[in-house]
């Protein structure tokens, strides 16, 4: 009886290994990485900044996840096939997502929130403005900080704006630079902007 049990367990795990490998091949054949080169470069930079402890932790986490997949491979394989067959409804997903002034192309550089707070602290000798980061805009900054989770990255951003073109014969004010330029800070989570704080606009 013990022999039969070990035999069926071996068959179960061998089938799991084969189907998981088949699943990896299917992913390479049918799944297209839609991430932009910009996002890929950011992920590479974040990976290089990880400490050895973080890399070891992720390595052991990968081993644990792989062991779990082999243990419940029928469920994992069924989920994989379902994901490859299904087509996401991008219209509904985009409709539910909040819209921000900051887009991916507007991100400038990764910043440290603590350094941003230090640099943004307002000191008014006449005490007309609270000595807090960004003064009377502090509430908006605190909202952004409260949204930050482990793994989120804070970026500074600046939109390109637009160049105003006056009509022929227009004698009003003419602007040398672009208009509607907005600057601030954005939270990026899973390669998406999930929050923003505006500091300057014109």
pLDDT tens, residue by residue, 10-45: 777 777 777 777 777 776 676 666 555 555 555 666
Give one DSSP letter per residue of 22-84, joined into a string.
HHHHHHHHH------HHHHHHHHHHHHT--HHHHHHHHHHHHHHHHHHHHTHHHHHHHHHHHH
Task: Answer whether residue 61 shows pLDDT above 80.
Answer: yes
Find the range with the poorest average confidence among 63-67, 98-102, 137-141.
Answer: 63-67
pLDDT in tens, 167-194: 565 565 565 667 788 999 999 999 899 9
Most confident stretch, 61-70, 78-87, 165-174, 191-200: 191-200
User: Tell me, what's the pLDDT at 86?
Assistant: 57
68-106 residues labelled b (16+ CB within 10 A) or e (exposed): ebeeebeebbeebeeeeeeeeeeeeeeeeeeebbbebeb
Residue 20's contacts (CB-CB under 8 Å, 6 or more residues apart) are: 69, 70, 73, 76, 77
Cα(152)–Cα(42) distance, integer angstroms: 12
User: Tell me, what's the pLDDT at 115?
Assistant: 94
Q: Which residue has the higher pLDDT, 74 or 185?
A: 185
Cα(144)–Cα(134) distance, integer angstroms: 13
Q: Which residue has the higher pLDDT, 93 or 59?
A: 59
How far lies 10's CA from each of 5, 76, 78, in Å?
9, 18, 21
**Averaged pLDDT score across all residues of the chain:** 76
pLDDT in tens, 132-171: 888 888 889 999 999 999 999 999 999 987 766 665 655 6
Q: What is the mean pLDDT of residues 88-115?
A: 75
Q: What is the mean pLDDT of residues 87-114?
A: 73
Q: Which residue has the higher pLDDT, 86 or 153?
A: 153
**54: pLDDT confidence band, cut at 50, 70 and 90?**
confident
Find the range with the poorest average confidence among 17-31, 73-87, 103-117, 127-141.
Answer: 73-87
Domain locations along the chain: 2-87, 104-165+176-201
């Amino acid at each position: 009886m013990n022999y039969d049990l070990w035999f069926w367990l071996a068959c179960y795990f061998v089938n799991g290994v084969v189907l998981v490998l088949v699943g990896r091949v299917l992913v390479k054949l049918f799944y297209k990485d839609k991430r932009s080169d910009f996002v890929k470069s950011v992920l590479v930079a974040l990976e290089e900044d990880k400490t050895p402890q973080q890399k070891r932790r992720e390595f052991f986490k990968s081993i644990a996840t792989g062991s779990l997949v082999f243990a419940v491979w029928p469920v994992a394989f069924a989920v994989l096939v379902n994901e490859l067959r299904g087509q996401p409804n991008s219209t509904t997903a985009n409709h539910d997502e909040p819209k921000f002034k900051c887009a991916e192309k507007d991100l400038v550089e990764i910043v440290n929130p603590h350094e941003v707070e230090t640099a943004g602290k307002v000191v008014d000798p006449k005490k007309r403005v609270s000595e807090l980061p960004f003064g009377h805009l502090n509430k908006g900054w605190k909202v952004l900080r409260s949204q930050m989770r482990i793994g989120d990255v804070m970026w500074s951003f600046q939109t390109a704006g637009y160049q105003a073109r006056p009509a022929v014969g227009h004698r009003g004010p003419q602007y040398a630079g672009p208009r509607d330029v907005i600057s601030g800070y954005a939270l990026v989570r899973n390669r998406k902007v999930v929050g923003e704080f505006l500091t300057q606009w014109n």
